[in-house]
Amino acid sequence: MKKTLTTTFACLLVGLLFGLTTVNADEAIKQQILKRFPQADRDNDGVLSEAEEAFVSKQILKRFPQADRDGDGQLSTAEKQAMLSMAANRAKRPAGNSKPQTAKGQPAPTYANVKYGEHERQVFDIWLADSSKPTPLAIYIHGGGFKSGSKDKLHRKDDLSQLLKSGISVAAINYRFISNHPLPTAHHDARRALQVMRSQAGEWNIDKERVAAFGGSAGAQICMWLAYTDEMAKPESSDPIERESTRLTCVATAGGQTGNSPEYWQKMLGPFLKGKSIDSLAKPLNGETDPQKVALAQWGASTVDEAKEISSRHAALNTISADDPPIFMSYGMKPTDKPPRDPAKLRGWLIHHVNLGLALKEKTDELKVEAHLKYPGANVKYDSLVEFFVDKLLKE
């Protein structure tokens, strides 16, 4: 009988758990996959390519979504180690006890898969905090490069239970992917979901004047777009949902990209690329590999100038103004950290680099917009987004 990737991989991880080192962990994983699960080698060349490993990782993330702790849709070295431990524990369970378990201590949504549009991904979950008074609302927007990810990632985050205990209601949304719906479709989906939630404020006991958003990577970009774009409500619309405000009280991001132009990325990250163009970081989209054509497809543009114009309107550095809300940013590396030696890790490290947050912090300081930037070793006022939200959403 043919085994699934996830079942086989969970079994082989047990033997790997204590034998891997940080330096050769990825190579050891590849070798073990080939040895114990040769089907992963799709082109039968005896080598597990980056694409083949990425496919396996994608299947594992579906099975173990909690391994992706920063919500960027990829597995860092630390996340892989956490995944190994989790898979080992699962593999040790006796037969008949393999039914997937929900995250320990996490409550079920008050309302699940609430539709805010006709597409299957236009849905959200919402957890309503127990309160006699209208509660603030924090909306989670997942990452994944606009190509993958799910609202279900929130289920394994401690943020959910901590926010609810603090008296803050929480929602998590899905949005359409760029594989079939070019940007800014994802941004507009998030806007619509926000307005739908506000339209239900009376029924759900939500204070529509105290609404925040949080997310990582692609989700962080959407959060900042909502926070820094001027009011998008249409007061004269025949659709009552479109008449709801799109403004936020505050926003929290993890590994967020703050600019979209190639020139900006080259300036921020060029020194780490050792002479290579920023185009080297581009990933294929629907089979297209040419960076320029990928950019056109990503933004639904017919010309380079059109793509630049659209992307500019969805970049935090280009949209922020002095009347915008406070932000809490977090990144996983110090500004002085050296890039990883492994080329497979370099891209993820770069596109979530703290330099991107430093650029926005410089702009917020110039505009006198409140901003907090957390990274290892930084002296910060808030240690977590929960502390930040409690201060901004609950204190009078």
The average pLDDT across 277-282 equals 83
Split at pLDDT 50, 70, 90, the class of 84 is low
Answer with the residue of higher pLDDT: 70 or 230: 230
- What pLDDT sits at residue 114? 98
CB–CB of 335/375 below 8 Å?
yes
d(C-alpha 146, C-alpha 341), whole Å: 26
Long-range contacts, 78-81 (Cβ 8 Å, 24+): 80/25, 80/26, 80/29, 81/20, 81/25
Split at pLDDT 50, 70, 90, the class of 101 is very low
Backbone dihedral angles phi then psi of residue 139, each to the nearest 5 degrees: -105, 125
User: Which range among 99-103, 172-176, 177-181, 310-314 shows the weakest confidence by mean pLDDT?
Assistant: 99-103
Tell me the domain boundaries of the chain. Answer: 5-91, 111-259+318-394
The average pLDDT across 344-356 equals 93
Cis peptide before 109 (omega within 30 of 0): no
Instruction: Give yes or no for residue 29 having a pLDDT over 70.
Output: no
- The DSSP element (H or E) to which 172 belongs, if any, is strand 169-173
Question: For 109-161, where are the E strands, in sequence order?
Answer: 111-115, 123-127, 135-141
Answer with the residue of higher pLDDT: 157 or 313: 313
User: Which range among 17-26, 59-68, 127-136 shows the weakest confidence by mean pLDDT?
Assistant: 17-26
- The DSSP element (H or E) to which 327 belongs, if any, is strand 327-330
Q: CB count, 10 Å around CB of 293?
A: 13
Note the CATH architecture for domain 111-259+318-394. Answer: 3-Layer(aba) Sandwich (3.40)
User: Which range among 17-21, 29-33, 66-70 shows the weakest confidence by mean pLDDT?
Assistant: 17-21
- What pLDDT sits at residue 6? 44
Q: How far is CA 71 from CA 15, 76, 140, 232, 292, in A?
A: 27, 11, 11, 27, 27
Instruction: Give yes or no for residue 263 having a pLDDT over 50.
Output: yes
| pTM beyond cutoff 0.85 | no
